[in-house]
Structure 1
Amino acid sequence: MPSQQGTPVKSVVVPFEPDTPPSSLGHLGHEVPERWHTVDRSAHAPHIVAVPGDDGADWVAAALVTARPHTAYLKIVDAVGDVPATVEAVIAHARDRGLVQVKWEGWTASPEAAAAAGFAPLCPPLSPVEDGAGPDAGYVRWLCDGPGTEPPYYGQTTHFTCGAVTALVAKAHGGTLPREALDREAELTLWRDATNFPACEPIGLGVAVRRAWPSSPVTVHLDTDQPVLLDHCTEKEQEWRALLQRTSRTEAGRIGVPVDPGRLSLAAIRSAVGRREHVLLLVSLAGMQGFDVPHWVLCHGAVPGAVVIEDPWAQAGAGDTWVDAHLLPVPDSSLDTMSTLSADRFRGAVAIGHPQQRDASSDEPPG
């Protein structure tokens, strides 16, 4: 990673309003990409980090920067003008805010320009990206020691298979599942075994993971003995879904999946990922995306002050792409809030340990 220059680049930070962009953008002599205006990025605090010229008035470079709320990174959507100068200004801006990471979408950034600025390429997603929903490439620069090995990124292909996807990504990251086996058939097969129709509740997901990979230790953490994720259902629907959840508890006991009734702490999550284990964590999307929907994410690493997750879903309509969702650092306090769900304020998680060596060869991918 290049060292910081002795004299930091002077910069200007202003909000970005697509209907009334700063007049200084027009003086750059570069066409501002149309994508800056075609989606509503307002939920992700869009702003411009610009570098003024020697006269202090006209800008010589500018970058459109966004980030999910309650996270510890910034994302460069595009940079125009003197690109190295504005990227350096964004990095300084992120440091000033105490953030741990800067990402750069690869709409116009070349691998050479990204590398020169100290960015590493992100592994491209294994699932297809719809036209306009995200760039083919992305780059990351950690402003601290990074979390270790990069997992593959796979975006869920339905609205309800997040639990299955996080489990599959965990097994691919751990080396148990070949990356080429992480596909839609595997996604839907594991979901079908885990679902409480259509969501995956913690015990059912833990049972399905253990059945799919018998040699992998699995522990479910759920600090309530009541059925969960049923608030939106009618009383009649709650009855039969609750029955399925009780059946999952019985099955967990039968196949040896412990259900820990204590609340899983952020310290315990950090400890698990520090041992290169994986934690599938149930969160609400209210903080990051603005709507209170339960959702599974994968905790796989930690950096100072933040846990690094994989989120299998991105909100393309808000300019949110796989670059945001991949290697996403979330401050401990934010993750603590996100993972306290519903009026009952429960926390659900599935911890997956290292496969037992003598049985590891028995693990087969679902399909």
Structure 2
Amino acid sequence: MPPQPQQEQQEPPVTSVVVPFEAETARTLPGRLGRHEVPERWHTVDRSAHDPHLVTVPGADGADRAAALVTARPHTSYLKIVDAVGDVRAAVGAVVAHARRQGLAQVKWEGWTADPEDATTAGFTPLRPPLAQAEDTAGPATGYVRWLGDGTVTDPPYYGQTTHFTCGAVTALVAQAHAGTLPPQALDREAELTLWRDATNFLACEPVGLGVAVRRAWPSSPVTVHLDTDRPVLLDHLPEKEQEWRALLQRASRTEAGRTGVPVDPGHLTLTAIRDALGRREHVLLLLSLTAMQGFDVPHWVLCHGTVPGAVVIDDPWANAATGDTWVDAHLLPVPDASLDTMSALSPDGFRGAVTIGRP
């Protein structure tokens, strides 16, 4: 993606109505506006966790002349257009205005029915399609993004983890591809599983083990682990006997970090420090809980790779197809600083784990 303009020109106000997504209205509206294939997609999954709503544009006669189904992950700074029907350009303009009123950083548009010319005219840029995704992941072949404020963000290649447990390895690989250290064509399942195997604490990747594995894979890349607890982590859900041998492996990872010169910073990594690292064109692999964005408390690695005013831009290697969440949501995802701060304080004692990767 080319750098975004420093100051975007705003459109004239758009008259629109925002209403909750209600099954019956949503089932008949697209057909009235000439898109009979759309209702099936709107009702195939339960989107209720992502605040689904309709943004409609009334015509001169009072009837709807355009509408868009809009969703978004909670505690983020974007809106996603699933489909726009009727006068598409009017519908999209109404969504952009709706996002501006909320002070959001971005609008995305899934490519199910989006016409590339309509997207370009509305100020959207194409997203690069995913290099890989899990077999059970549903999503459009194309997608678009429009940033609504200042700042420049470049896009890493999007790679969706192909297992439930390789998020840490994927974030490291994508970071190195974004930095130019790894060719994008080298991002494949063999690379994903190989790095995971070197970093895993069975099945998760804990911060020290991941940092050591990154150093082994790319010796010329500066690596720092940030972990503000000295106890073993990501083990509390396991029986005591299962915790014991994994804790031993985590102690071995700390020994290996010392042997290979990987610093383990015991201080709390602040959001200011994350922003500073990103300003130096470093990458931050950040461990967070999916409670806020997806509704279940599972530790998960994401890649922090850019900033815009008020939000950190992440790439999440996992999307929840059961809620209508797709790679378009997960790629170039702006998360407000306060939300990211809360998400990345992991229970039971609010520790923070991260790995920063500098430029070679």
TM over 0.5: yes
Describe how 1:1-367 pairs up with structure 2 within 5 A: 3-6=9-12, 8-19=13-24, 21=26, 27-31=32-36, 33=38, 34-55=40-61, 57-128=62-133, 130=135, 133-355=138-360
The one-letter amino acid of 2:323's match is A
The one-letter amino acid of 1:330's match is V
Structure 1 residue 149: Cα displacement:
1.8
How many aligned positions are there? Answer: 353
Q: Residue 285 of structure 2 contacts residue 354 of structure 2 at CA under 8 Å; is this kept in 1?
A: yes
The one-letter amino acid of 1:199's match is A
Q: Give the match's secondary structure for 1:68.
A: coil
> Following the alignment from structure 1 to structure 2, what is the Cα–Cα distance between the partners of residues 12 and 22?
18
What stretches of structure 1 of length at least 5 have no aligned partner?
356-367
Q: TM-score, normalised by structure 2?
A: 0.95
Q: After superposing the two structures, state which structure 1 stretch, 340-349 or 16-25, moved more.
A: 16-25
> Following the alignment from structure 1 to structure 2, what is the Cα–Cα distance between the partners of residues 326 and 16?
24
The one-letter amino acid of 1:96's match is R
Structure 1 residue 304: Cα displacement:
0.3
The one-letter amino acid of 1:35's match is R
Q: Residue 311 of structure 2 contacts residue 335 of structure 2 at CA under 8 Å; is this kept in 1?
A: yes
Name segments (4+ residues, structure 1) moved above 6 Å. none
> Following the alignment from structure 1 to structure 2, what is the Cα–Cα distance between the partners of residues 230 and 250?
19
Q: After superposing the two structures, state which structure 1 stretch, 107-116 or 213-222, moved more.
A: 107-116
Q: TM-score, normalised by structure 1?
A: 0.93
> Identity over the aligned pairs, expressed in percent?
77
Specify whether residues 132 and 340 from structure 1 end up closer, same or farther in structure 2 by C-alpha distance, changes over 3 A only.
closer
Structure 1 residue 131: Cα displacement:
8.0
What stretches of structure 2 of length at least 5 have no aligned partner?
none
Structure 1 residue 88: Cα displacement:
0.3
Q: Residue 27 of structure 1 contacts residue 59 of structure 1 at CA under 8 Å; is this kept in 2?
A: no
Q: After superposing the two structures, state which structure 1 stretch, 140-149 or 239-248, moved more.
A: 140-149
The one-letter amino acid of 1:139's match is Y
Q: Residue 32 of structure 1 contacts residue 80 of structure 1 at CA under 8 Å; is this kept in 2?
A: no
The one-letter amino acid of 1:329's match is P
Structure 1 residue 148: Cα displacement:
2.5
Specify whether residues 132 and 203 from structure 1 end up closer, same or farther in structure 2 by C-alpha distance, changes over 3 A only.
closer
The one-letter amino acid of 1:49's match is V
- Match in the other structure for 1:358: none
